Amino acid sequence: LQELLQLLKSRFNVTCNEGVSLYTIRHFDEKAIASLQNGHEILLEQRGKETLQLVVK
């Protein structure tokens, strides 16, 4: 992983976050969102019509 990060950093502005999880929920509702938000720090949220993705720490 370190070699890949060094290669990418030579061409791009890269930030690596360790200890995170990616959750993908299809056909989500507010109850599903609340259950993931409880006790987690949301670093990134992406919503589509039927799909929600959260990166949490």
| pLDDT tens by residue, 1-57 | 899 999 999 999 999 989 999 999 999 998 988 888 888 899 999 999 999 999 999
CB 45 within 8 A of CB 52: yes
Residue 10 resides in a domain: no
pLDDT computed for residue 13 by the predictor? 97
Residue 4 resides in a domain: no
pLDDT computed for residue 48 by the predictor? 95
**pTM of structure:** 0.74
CB 54 within 8 A of CB 20: no
Residue 34 resides in a domain: yes
- What length does the chain have? 57
pLDDT computed for residue 39 by the predictor? 87
Residue 2 resides in a domain: no
